[in-house]
Amino acid sequence: MKNEKFRVAKEQPDIMERTYAFALSIVRLCQQLDKKPGVNGILALQLLRSGTSIGVNVEEAQAGQSKADFSSKISIALKEARETRYWLRLIGD
């Protein structure tokens, strides 16, 4: 049973791959939002900054000089993810 859980976890895409794919989706969404006049461009810029920052911080965490450094970078990635969720909700509504 334990080995099954491990295999399932190994079949999941790596966190760096997932955050990169997410950032790519954010870039594409922002390109579409930027084509519309008005507030959309301003919101797109905020979304672009936070949505692409998640993966950057996850990448930086992988090269952390200590456990504390790793934890700090992952915490920043989580904060950026929460901010991105906010912008996506606002744009969606």
Instruction: Check residue 58 and give its pLDDT.
Output: 95
- In b/e form, how buried is each residue of 38-68, taking b as 16+ CB within 10 angstroms? eebeebbebbbebbbbbbbbbebbeeeeeee
Task: List, in order of start, the domains of the chain with CATH numbers.
Answer: 2-92 (1.20.1440.60)
Q: With contact defined as beta carbons under 8 Å apart, do 63 and 35 qualify?
A: no
CA-CA distance, 70 to 68, in Å (whole number)?
5
Instruction: Check residue 9 and give its pLDDT.
Output: 47
Per-residue pLDDT of the chain (93 residues; tens, 9 = 90+): 444 444 444 555 699 999 999 999 999 999 999 888 888 888 999 999 999 999 999 999 999 899 999 999 999 999 999 999 999 999 999
